Structures are given as C-alpha cells and as structure tokens.
Amino acid sequence: MSKTIALSGTKNGVISVTKLENPYGEGSGTVASIGISLNGEANNPEWKVHIPLDNVDDVIKALEELKK
C-alpha cells in the first residue's frame, strides 16, 4: 500500500505514506513510513519517519487533536 499527497505550500512537494514490512531486517515489525519530499521524489524523501503499526491509531488521534 502506498499513497502520495501533494505537500501544501510547495510547488512540487509530496508526502508519501507507505506500509513497509521488515524494514530493519527479517522479523522486524511492520511500520507506516511517512516521507516528505520537497522536489516531488516520493521514492527518495528528504525526511521520513517510521511508525510501528501498533502506534498508528494513537498517532492519528494526536494529529486529529492538533487540527482543533
């Protein structure tokens, strides 16, 4: 699963959201990888964060609270 979102406030920037299985080698937990690319290269982001799938619901909740 992968999704690319236009990055607000930029000409070409994107946010990429990808599900990665075994990102740190065999047996490591699956993560949501969120990357930011200012030049539009979703597969080569300048910044990225890996969030364990067990934490995704809490992160979504925290982000929704920020919008209030």
Per residue in 10-67, pLDDT (tens digit) is 999 999 999 999 999 999 999 999 999 999 999 999 999 999 999 999 999 999 999 9
**Residue 1: predicted pLDDT:** 75
Run of H or E including 11: none
How many domains does the chain fold into? 1
What mean pLDDT is predicted for residues 1-17?
95
**Residue 49: predicted pLDDT:** 98
Nearest to 23 by CA among 58, 56, 49, 59: 49
| 3-class secondary structure, 67 | coil
Structural domain for 62, as ranges:
2-66
